[in-house]
């Protein structure tokens, strides 16, 4: 029997589950806190790090994080308790499409638009934006982190990405912002992850397991872990590196 302590750790070197630096996170939280949201809704929250930082910056605000990953949710609850936010932050294991969600003053959807729509990309972004428009209160804010093509991918790059990757799977940045406008928002702030943020995220995403694998080359899970690591690294370095971008859009609903 494989003991829990023998298993590779998971994402302990990541503060955020995405290419987001401390400096950018600080700026986002400062701007979002200016609106003094009383309620924060985090769709596909993971461990909800940005939501917790907003709650810490806005005394009295409450937050609700929705996700399907029980391990991430447990990490979020533990972090909230450690920061004295346990009574203001709720982490729920449920589907965003199945849950009856009340509108909130601030809605976070960080690389989780797929949680709000089953449509094919890039149309799922439009459907997610429509759902977000319904979930934000008048005068509130939505922070959407969404993928876009920094430049058109070559066929060689597409073939190295995820299965069935397509050139029309994402918009360029202008097209992504246009979708937000068409869904009833005005873009109050548009920013994009830089290469340093991407490299920190991708390295942190793999690092725990890479270090574990180097120390456990003969473990029963070593071959499976090695295959996953090598495949993901190839997808990044040969496929979407400097091609796929992440935009952080701070959106204001039109009255």
pLDDT tens string 186-238: 999 999 999 999 999 999 999 999 999 999 999 999 999 999 999 999 999 99
Q: What are the two backbone dihedrals, phi and then psi, of residue 159, each rounded to the nearest 5 degrees?
A: -70, -20
**Which residue is it, tokens 């971008």?**
245
Contact yes or no for 67/44 (Cβ under 8 A): yes
Contact yes or no for 104/36 (Cβ under 8 A): no
Give the Cα separation of 218 and 211 in Å (integer): 14
Instruction: Indicate the range of 9-13, 96-100, 251-255 predicted with least confidence.
Output: 96-100
25 pLDDT higher than 60: yes
**pTM for the whole structure:** 0.95
Give the Cα separation of 206 and 10 in Å (integer): 9
Q: Extract the tokens encoding 128.
A: 């997610």
100 pLDDT higher than 90: no
Neighbours of 26 (CB within 10 A): 12
Burial of 2 (0-12, 13-18, 19+ CB in 10 A): exposed
51 pLDDT higher than 60: yes
Neighbours of 128 (CB within 10 A): 24
153 pLDDT higher than 50: yes
Confidence grade of residue 1 (pLDDT, cut at 50, 70, 90): very low
For the chain, the domains span 17-194+244-253
More confident residue, 98 or 133: 133
> Strands 136-149 and 104-110: what pairing?
parallel
Which pLDDT value is given to residue 236? 98
60 pLDDT higher than 80: yes
Mean pLDDT for the stretch of residues 8-21? 96
Strands, E, within the chain: which ranges? 39-43, 62-67, 89-93, 104-110, 136-149, 185-192, 244-253
CATH number belonging to the domain at 17-194+244-253, selected among 3.30.379.10, 3.30.420.10, 3.40.50.150, 3.30.70.100: 3.40.50.150
């Amino acid at each position: 029997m494989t003991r829990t302590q023998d298993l590779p750790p998971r994402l302990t070197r990541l503060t955020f589950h995405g290419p987001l630096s401390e400096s950018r996170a600080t700026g986002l939280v400062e701007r979002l806190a200016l609106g003094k949201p009383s309620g924060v809704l985090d769709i596909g929250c993971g461990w909800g790090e940005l939501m917790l930082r907003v709650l810490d910056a806005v005394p009295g605000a409450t937050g609700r994080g929705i996700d399907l990953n029980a391990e991430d949710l447990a990490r979020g609850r533990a972090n909230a308790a450690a920061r004295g936010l346990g009574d203001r932050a709720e982490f729920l294991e449920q589907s965003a499409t199945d849950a009856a969600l009340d509108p909130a003053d601030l809605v976070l959807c960080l690389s989780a638009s797929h949680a709000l729509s089953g449509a094919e990309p890039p149309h799922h972004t439009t459907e997610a934006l429509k759902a977000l428009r319904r979930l934000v209160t008048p005068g509130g804010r939505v922070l959407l982190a969404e993928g876009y093509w920094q430049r058109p991918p070559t066929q060689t790059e597409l073939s190295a990405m995820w299965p069935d990757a397509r050139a029309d799977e994402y918009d360029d940045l202008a097209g992504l912002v246009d979708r937000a406008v068409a869904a009833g928002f005005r873009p109050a702030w548009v920013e994009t992850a830089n290469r340093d943020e991407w490299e920190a995220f991708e390295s942190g995403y793999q690092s725990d397991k890479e270090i574990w694998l180097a120390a456990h080359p003969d473990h029963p899970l070593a071959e499976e872990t090695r295959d996953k690591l090598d495949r993901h690294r190839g997808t990044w370095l040969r496929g979407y590196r400097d091609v796929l971008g992440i935009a952080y859009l701070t959106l204001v609903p039109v009255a």
